[in-house]
Structure 1
Amino acid sequence: MTDVPDAPSGGGRLTDHIGIGVLTRLVDRDLVDEVLVDTGKREQRVRLLPARVVVYYVMALCLFFGDSYEEVMRTLVDGLRALGSWSKEWRVPTTSAITRARTRLGPEPLRELFERVAVPCARPGVPGAWLGTRRLMAIDGFVLDVPDTPDNDEEFGRSGGAKNPAPFPQAHLVGLGECGTHAINAAEIGPWNTNERKLAQKLLVAFEPGMLVIADRGFYAFQLWADAAETGADLLWRMPAGPHLPVVTPLPDGSYLSFLSDPKVRTRRAVQKHRGQTVLDELSGPTVRVVEYEISNRDGSHELFCLITTILDPDVATSVELAEAYGQRWEFESSLDELKTHQRGRGAVLRSRSPDLVKQEIWALLLTHYAVRQLMSEAAEQADIDPDRLSFIRSLRVIRRQVTRQAGFSPSAPDGGPRLHDHRDM
């Protein structure tokens, strides 16, 4: 790549002006520069594509999935002509030059940016975001198709086995997200066949007191539950068939106290009587509260739900409230659908042809999704409406237009807030 000291008429280098429109409010230039220093990616010489520009460029790739590498770069710089910041000597880099710049950057700056920026954003009172004082969070997983290259195949693998392999290698993601705002706050990436519980174990550093973390039955394992409970977050997980949950103490709301047994340890699993009260044997595992209920499916069949929780007192949360809170887990599934279907495009394959660039692209995808959702949350708060009433697809279109029109700006409303709730756009 040629080193070019581009000097636009407006002062400074042309690439100093490149941003991603409204999303630059959240991922600002100073933060990007700080992360580049911390990850050792700040250049010592001037380049045609400085690392900061590449960060914004990779994010833009995740906003304009259908466009070519060069077209996305043109989108970022096109508005600079009107600003008097255009250097006639500067040319849009080739695809190979962009790929080399992405390779120099690597995945870590995008991961670090996501981890610093993606914090829970629901304000108290946001519908579907809280159970009392506890913030409703959920964990779930999905896979993304990546380009069919030998390196990607070796790193990520593919489903189907040798006889019927999937057409593309697949990266497996597990994320922790906020139910009320659909914002994904933490994630882990692995090969397609990585057990979701193994990826979820790495997410425990993001669990905090004041959260109620919801999970489907595929995530339950004794040790994962025990480790998750140690974080101080409350848990509400659906149990798979199999583990025995004896009724130890019935509670007035229809739930009951029980205990979990470590399958690796032989316990008597006995219930003793002590002073006329039922107590747990000292060899039994942690105490849990069990909530059981049945739902009717569309086909007329019935399905039993068995939930366990660390919230032991029904005066803090009744069994009905916990069942309703578990239903909010589906909101997080909507977040994943937004990311892999609407933002990426239905059936679309990621662009990156090497494992490091795949991971870079995924972190950028998560970062841009969070940025869109955070702006939607702010807009909903200003309009005093439920964030679910705002369309993700329409909000994404608004942001794409703002990026196209004002690539070099960090646009905001006169009061500093976004305008995503403008009904002319929504």
Structure 2
Amino acid sequence: MSLSRALRDSSETLPANTDRFLEHVPNEWLNAAAELSSQVTIRRRRLPSDQVMWLVLGMAFFRNKPIAEVARSLNISADGLANEQMLAKSALTQARQRLGAEPMQCLFQQSGKHWGVERYPQDDWHGLQVFAVDGALFRTPDSTELRSHFGSGNTSTDRQTPFPMLRCVALMNVRSHVIVDACISPYRRGEVPLAMPLIHKLPDHSITLLDKGFYSADLLVSLASSGVDRHWLLPARKGLVSTVVEDYGAGDRLVEMKVSPQARKKNPSLPESWCARAITYEVEGKEKTVFTSLPASVYTAKAIAELYHQRWEIELGFRDIKSSMLDNAIVLRSKTPALVYQELWGLLLAYNLIRREASQAAVEHKRAPQEISFKFACQFIAAELISLSNNPSPGTTGRRLADLRGSLGMLFKENRPRPSRPRSVKLSKTRYPVNRNAAPLK
């Protein structure tokens, strides 16, 4: 029995407050996503599209298992056909190719739309919801097709990184760590163009934290003017030329900056100059300056300086994806561009499922969502998925789902200082081809 079918069959017996996974991935989401597949089929000799979507989700939960083993663990098969026949590697690959990437993207965006803007107790900062935008790179297997499509870290010479890379820019709820939306593209596209569509997904009365790489008059002016009481906060760029318009006090001033001709050429509606509030403060003897659209009449410089350090929460979210879910794997497992996109959308959807369930469990235990250990929550929910999919008795499914959030309450992290770990060094670029079959050095 498939996981989706077990949940559907038991839906009538589930109490409203134990309808866990059904509230996460409603049937209408699955149906709408399946309709996006250009080659959706109902022929019995092929895997139904909803089961293929669960297979892609399973790939995210069980990174170290072969895809065929993932299908066996989740009891995925076509009705009336031998299990082994449908679990052949070629059959699973063909099923994923028929499904395509759009259904998984649709499911992920539905999850972000509904869960990413949810409010939790003590969620707001001075009445504003806190979000963050940042980018991350993912590597793919090295093949001519993938390198041609995604590109890599090329320089002005022939040097390039050993693996093709794709870029993901995400908008994340800082409190729950749920990803509201994301844009995925080949490496050659920059972070600022990918971030532009995301600002329209921000709710009103919010503050968005960004890295200095997102300094763009077009992006920041559009963010602040696209809704009601939407603000931004990011560190100042070094060497930026500005003029002080008004002084609010020590380390707090309003500055004016010119908009570059290149930016105005791309967007003629931009003004010739724009203003931002600049706040300078000291950290361990070093001066730091941040720019923001928050007005001085409402928000103090000290509160804003403290708020910016929460931008690191989105870095922790990317770390959870790469470390806990991908198990520090160097590359994604898919070998064609379409399946790479599909795998990554499935990975983001699985991440949101874990974060949403952890956030809801935290609320029941009157704790903050980020206090639950993501690694252990991921392992726990993965084990529950296997138990549900292999449970022959739908009557016991309700009880197991009812116990899920109560069990997640055991996964809260201890309140201890986070250890200091240096950031990983980027892959070095080389002008020479990399021999994957070379013998290791002795």
Same structural fold, with TM-score higher than 0.5 when normalized by the shorter chain? yes
Matched residues in 2 for 1:336 and 1:423: separation?
23
Matched residues in 2 for 1:212 and 1:151: separation?
40
The equivalent residue for 1:246 is: 243
The equivalent residue for 2:167 is: 172
Aligned 1:59-74 pairs, distance under 5 A = 59-74=57-72
Answering whether residue 277 of structure 2 is matched by residue 289 of structure 1, we say yes
Aligned pair partner of 1:198 in 177, 193, 196: 193
Matched residues in 2 for 1:89 and 1:17: separation?
18
Deviation sequence 1:235-255 (CA, Å, 0-9, x none): 112221132232211225742
Aligned 1:106-117 pairs, distance under 5 A = 106-117=100-111
The equivalent residue for 1:321 is: 303
TM-score (norm 2): 0.79
Aligned 1:15-414 pairs, distance under 5 A = 17=5, 23=21, 25-38=23-36, 42-77=40-75, 89-91=82-84, 92-118=86-112, 119-126=115-122, 129-159=123-153, 161=155, 163-232=158-227, 233-252=230-249, 254-264=251-261, 285-296=273-284, 302-314=285-297, 316-407=298-389
The amino acid of 1:307's aligned partner reads: V
The amino acid of 2:171's aligned partner reads: L
The amino acid of 2:409's aligned partner reads: D
Farther-moved stretch of structure 1 (304-313 vs 105-114): 304-313
Farther-moved stretch of structure 1 (329-338 vs 174-183): 174-183
- Report the CA distance between 1:180 and its aligned residue: 1.2
Question: Is the 1:197–1:224 Cα contact (8 Å) retained in structure 2?
Answer: yes
TM-score (norm 1): 0.82
- Report the CA distance between 1:183 and its aligned residue: 1.5
- Report the CA distance between 1:230 and its aligned residue: 2.3
Deviation sequence 1:91-114 (CA, Å, 0-9, x none): 342111111111111110111111
The amino acid of 1:304's aligned partner reads: E
SS at match of 1:345: coil
The amino acid of 1:381's aligned partner reads: V
The amino acid of 1:360's aligned partner reads: Q
Question: Is the 1:22–1:411 Cα contact (8 Å) retained in structure 2?
Answer: no
The amino acid of 2:260's aligned partner reads: P
Matched residues in 2 for 1:354 and 1:24: separation?
32
What is the Cα-based RMSD across aligned positions, in Å? Answer: 3.0
Deviation sequence 1:71-93 (CA, Å, 0-9, x none): 00001018x9xxxx996844342
The amino acid of 1:77's aligned partner reads: N
Question: Is the 2:358–2:377 Cα contact (8 Å) retained in structure 1?
Answer: yes
Change (3 A) 1:325 1:227: same
Unmatched 5+ residue regions in structure 1? 1-7, 9-13, 268-282, 297-301
Matched residues in 2 for 1:336 and 1:74: separation?
29
SS at match of 1:363: helix
Matched residues in 1 for 2:249 and 2:203: separation?
29
The amino acid of 1:189's aligned partner reads: I
The amino acid of 2:405's aligned partner reads: P
Deviation sequence 1:125-148 (CA, Å, 0-9, x none): 33xx42111111011111111111
Matched residues in 2 for 1:373 and 1:26: separation?
11
- Report the CA distance between 1:305 and its aligned residue: 2.1
- Report the CA distance between 1:56 and its aligned residue: 0.7
- Report the CA distance between 1:399 and its aligned residue: 0.6
Change (3 A) 1:176 1:303: farther
Matched residues in 1 for 2:379 and 2:44: separation?
34
Change (3 A) 1:38 1:261: same
SS at match of 2:57: helix
Farther-moved stretch of structure 1 (30-39 vs 287-296): 30-39
The equivalent residue for 1:3 is: none
Unmatched 5+ residue regions in structure 2? 9-18, 265-270, 414-442
The amino acid of 1:26's aligned partner reads: H
Question: Is the 1:122–1:180 Cα contact (8 Å) retained in structure 2?
Answer: no
- Report the CA distance between 1:388 and its aligned residue: 2.4
Matched residues in 1 for 2:93 and 2:412: separation?
35
SS at match of 1:395: helix
The structure carrying a bigger helix percent of its residues is 2
- Report the CA distance between 1:326 and its aligned residue: 0.7
SS at match of 1:180: coil
SS at match of 1:308: strand
Matched residues in 2 for 1:317 and 1:191: separation?
39
Matched residues in 1 for 2:403 and 2:6: separation?
20
- Report the CA distance between 1:357 and its aligned residue: 0.6
